[in-house]
Each structure stands twice: as C-alpha cells, then as structure tokens.
Structure 1
Amino acid sequence: MKKQLMALFFAALLPVTALAAGGGNVHLEDFEADLSNKESLQNGMRLFVENCMGCHSAQYQRYERAADDLAIDGSDEFRTVVEQELIRGGKKIGEQMTIAMDPKDASAWFGAPPPDLTLETRLRGSAWVYTYLKSFYVDENRPWGVNNAVFPDVGMPNVLAAMQGVQVCKDEHCKELELKAQGSMSPEQFDKAMYDLTNFMTYMGEPSKMVSGKIGTYVLIFLAILFVFAYALKKEYWKDVYSDSWRKDH
C-alpha cells in the first residue's frame, strides 16, 4: 500500500516537472517573486494591459481587486489611474480583465485562441514565464518570423520586440541567444520590465497570497503566545497531581 501511494505521488509530480522544465531544453532563469514590491506590481500590470491583453484575457482577475491590492500604503492614486484608463477603453473598474477578440477570429489568425493568462504562472511556474518572455528569436521559417527557445514552434508574434530588440540564435539548438539590434530598452531595463510583468502575473495567479502571508505570521505569533499560557496552565494543573503521587509513594 505504501509503495502504491509513493508511486501515485511521484506520478502526480511528473506533469509539474515537465512543465517547469520547459519545452525547449533551455535552462530556466532564476525568478523569485516579490509581492511586497507594489511599484513592481503596478508596472507589471501596466505592461500586461498594454502588451498582453490585445490577445490574452485574464478573466479570473478583476481590475478592482488588482487596483486595491496594488495600491501603495492605502493610497487611491493607483486606483484612480486604473479607473481613468478603463473609462477611456469603455470599461468599468469592477469588470473582469477580459478582451474583445472573438475566439473564432483568434483561431483563424493564430491557429488556436490565445490562452487565458490568469493562472499561467501557477500552471508553468514563474521562472518558466520569465524565461519565455525573454527567449524570442528570429526564425524566418515560422509564420510570424519568430520562434521561442523555451516554447519551440510558438504560435504568437513577439509583441515585446519593440522593447527588447531582435535576438538570434548563437548555436544550432538555440540554447543561447544573442541580441543583434537593441530595442527601446537596454537589456537591463528589459530584464527589469519582464521581472515586473512576471511578478504581476505571479500575483494574479494567487492574489490571496499577499494577505495569507501576513495572516500566517499573525497565526504563528498567536500560537507562540498561546503556547506560553498553555504550558503555564499545564504546570499549574499537574502540580497537585505530582504532589499527591509523591506523598503516596513516600
């Protein structure tokens, strides 16, 4: 029975491991999300809305939740900016982050509708997404003229090319990429932008994590205090029992 349970456990891990490894046998770059960095998350949301939401939705996330969660020190400034942008786009702050693209049109243009990205970092891992965003390169054999070292034969154009520039393969298997023409950002600036974008997508995959981390700390503090009182009560309760037992033995 124990062997069967272990086999099921490792079998359950296989899909996660396969996704984390990526499809292109490319080493994934290290990524550690920082959900306490509100400025990074705000910039990530801006990049997501400007560059990703032309094709990809985030239908399980609401603008209102993001605007409230990402506000700095309870300030309404960021929420106001989000509301103004939504008004220009004819949307309301309480709406979900959906797109206007028809799935049928998307299938005709891309071969399949672009996936919803709300849970992408939970599905593939934040490191996978971060490396993927930075791994587009020129491939004239592909319909959009680009490919991706992490996701071979990717079916989307490189919407980040204006910021990053043009990358080409340095070796036959494209395990290393070289920047041939720089975009509007330096490599350092682009890395920072992709960090912010991935950081926001990590938040979007599990918004409650921002609160659960704080709650977990409070719970541990409460349990530590409770332990002190529980231990003192235990000593007081058993004091007489130990005394009676000692008197009977002597």
Structure 2
Amino acid sequence: MNLLKKLIAVLAFVPALALANEATFPLDHAPDRTKDLAALQNGAKLFVNYCLNCHSASAMRYNRLRDIGLSEDQIKNNLLFTSEKVGDLMKVAMPSKDAKDWFGAVPPDLSVIARAKASDAGTGGDWLYTYLRTFYKDDTRPTGWNNLVFPNVGMPHVMWELQGVRAAKFEEVKDPHEEGKTVHKFVGFEQVKPGKLNALDYDQAVADLVAYLEWMGEPAQNTRKRLGVWVLLFLGVFLVLAWRLSASYWKTIK
C-alpha cells in the first residue's frame, strides 16, 4: 500500500515537471481563420515554401487541398515540385541522417503540430502564432537564431527574409520569488535589418500559416462542428417528442 501511494505521488508530480520545462513566455491569441479559404490557401503556399523543406506532413496529401478551394491545376502549378504528384503525401526529401547532422535532431512531422502544442496556456494555434513571431538573432546559437517561446531551439528562422532580422533586448531585474537574485527579463525587440514585409503584414502572413496548420491537423473539423449543431438540434426535437409520447402513453395506462 505504501509503495502504491509513493507511485501515485510520483505520477502526480510528473506533469508538474513537464510544465516546469515549458517556456513561460506569454502567448498571443492567434486569429481564427480556419474558415477563411483565402487565408488557408495563402497559408498552404507559405507552408510549402518555408516549412516543407525540412518538415514533413505525412498525414496530408496534396489533393486534400481541394477542400480549401484549390483546383488540381493550381496545386500542380504552384505547390508541387517536379517529381511529385497530386496524390502524394507531403513528405520531405531530406534524409533523416542529414537533418540530424545539420539541426541536432530530426525536424518533427507537422501533420498535427497545432493539436500537439495545445496546453492550459493557450491553443496550439496560439503557441505557433507566438513562436513564429518571436525569433531573434543570437550569434551564440549554432543556427544564429533563438526564440522566446522555445529557448535554444535548434530550428533557424526560416521566414527571416519576410520579417527581417531582429535583436532581443533583455535587462536584469530583481527576482520577485527570491531575495537578492536577479533574472533575465525580455523588454522588447530592436529591428536590425528590415524584411520584405512590415510588422503588420508579417503578422497577417503568420496568422494565415497558423490557420493552415490548424486546418491540416483536422481537415474535417468545420464539417464536424456543423454536423454537431444539427445533431444537437435533432436530439433536442427528439427529446420533446419522446417526452410528449411518454406522457401520452402513461396517461392511457392510468
């Protein structure tokens, strides 16, 4: 019994350890664009151009992009590489060994990344939206980049040409939890080199990309939600009918 109690205590402590290892940077709310076909189409283009070079989406086929309003010709002409077909899975050509040598780890598959990153702090979309907007130049890192949401991340800032190069400014402040100790606090960004997009347009582009990643995690989610409303309405009507039928039946029994 004592062993069982100790085991339960350890298992209860594991989630706390996992949360302690997560970044505590506050997450920004991601705009909900999963029903906006234009945003999803732009997000798909950004995904293919900036993410699919290293990350696979092995649970998604190119022809599923017809669900967001793209024709097969548009997919072939704008989103496929030379040797790929519309029915192929979104896989990356880079060997896993090379990826591990270059980045220190194999880049994760992004098929359900938006769902995987959901937490008490926010949705997976919130995490991705903040993560993709908080890269900064850090010459101490092997890639030359760092991130506020995911400190010491092995991934470089692949969209830096759009956002430009930014430096993060930190200052030492007193630790509110421990007297006599200071902590490294983020106070803002400094634009070192402008990008192709201004800050607002870059945020819009990231919002489109995040919307696509959320949609890709469950392409049928909007259909499921619509069907769910109709099912609840049907059950509500059926409940009233069943209630009146039951009342009528028991009335005749008495």
Q: TM-score under structure 1 normalisation?
A: 0.82
- Distance in structure 1 (CA, Å) of the matches to 2:72 and 2:13: 40
Counterpart of 1:111? Answer: 104
Cα root mean square deviation, aligned? 2.5
The reply on whether 1:101 has 2:94 as its aligned counterpart is yes
Structure 2 letter corresponding to 1:46: K
- Distance in structure 1 (CA, Å) of the matches to 2:24 and 2:92: 32
1:175 is paired with a residue of what secondary structure?
strand
The reply on whether 1:199 has 2:211 as its aligned counterpart is yes
Q: CA deviation at 1:45?
A: 0.8
Query: Which runs of structure 2 are paired with 1:112-127 in the superposition (5 Å)?
Result: 112-124=105-117, 125-127=124-126
Structure 1 letter corresponding to 2:116: L
Question: Is the 1:26–1:150 Cα contact (8 Å) retained in structure 2?
Answer: yes
Question: Is the 2:37–2:68 Cα contact (8 Å) retained in structure 1?
Answer: yes
Counterpart of 2:44? Answer: 45
Counterpart of 2:120? Answer: none
Question: Segments of 4+ in structure 1 off by > 6 A?
Answer: none
Return closer, same or farther for 1:163/1:35 CA change in 2, 3 Å cut-off: same
- Distance in structure 2 (CA, Å) of the matches to 1:79 and 1:231: 51
Unaligned runs of 5+ in 2: 118-123, 172-183
Unaligned runs of 5+ in 1: 72-76, 245-250
Question: Is the 2:40–2:212 Cα contact (8 Å) retained in structure 1?
Answer: yes
Counterpart of 2:152? Answer: 153
Return closer, same or farther for 1:35/1:123 CA change in 2, 3 Å cut-off: same
The reply on whether 1:14 has 2:20 as its aligned counterpart is no
Residues 91-100 or 28-37, more deviating: 28-37
Any idea what the Cα deviations from partners look like across 1:128-161, whole Å, max 9, x if unmatched?
1111101110111111211111111111221111
1:41 is paired with a residue of what secondary structure?
helix
Residues 179-188 or 77-86, more deviating: 77-86
2:170 is paired with a residue of what secondary structure?
coil
Between structures 1 and 2, the one with greater strand share: 2
- Distance in structure 2 (CA, Å) of the matches to 1:199 and 1:14: 28
Question: Is the 1:34–1:199 Cα contact (8 Å) retained in structure 2?
Answer: yes
The reply on whether 1:62 has 2:56 as its aligned counterpart is no
Q: CA deviation at 1:11?
A: 4.3
Question: Is the 1:59–1:118 Cα contact (8 Å) retained in structure 2?
Answer: yes
Structure 1 letter corresponding to 2:89: Q
Any idea what the Cα deviations from partners look like across 1:102-122, whole Å, max 9, x if unmatched?
111111111111111111111
The reply on whether 1:178 has 2:189 as its aligned counterpart is yes
Question: Is the 2:170–2:186 Cα contact (8 Å) retained in structure 1?
Answer: yes
The reply on whether 1:238 has 2:250 as its aligned counterpart is yes
Between structures 1 and 2, the one with greater helix share: 1
2:186 is paired with a residue of what secondary structure?
coil
Return closer, same or farther for 1:140/1:94 CA change in 2, 3 Å cut-off: same
Q: TM-score under structure 2 normalisation?
A: 0.81
Counterpart of 2:136? Answer: 137
Return closer, same or farther for 1:11/1:31 CA change in 2, 3 Å cut-off: farther
Aligned residues with identical type, % of pairs: 37
Structure 1 letter corresponding to 2:158: V
Return closer, same or farther for 1:54/1:15 CA change in 2, 3 Å cut-off: farther
- Distance in structure 1 (CA, Å) of the matches to 2:230 and 2:236: 10
Counterpart of 1:210? Answer: 222
Return closer, same or farther for 1:204/1:23 CA change in 2, 3 Å cut-off: same
Aligned length: 228
Any idea what the Cα deviations from partners look like across 1:157-204, whole Å, max 9, x if unmatched?
211110011111121436343141321111111111111111111111
Return closer, same or farther for 1:129/1:88 CA change in 2, 3 Å cut-off: closer
Question: Is the 1:63–1:93 Cα contact (8 Å) retained in structure 2?
Answer: yes
Q: CA deviation at 1:87?
A: 5.4
Q: CA deviation at 1:216?
A: 0.2
Question: Is the 1:86–1:92 Cα contact (8 Å) retained in structure 2?
Answer: no
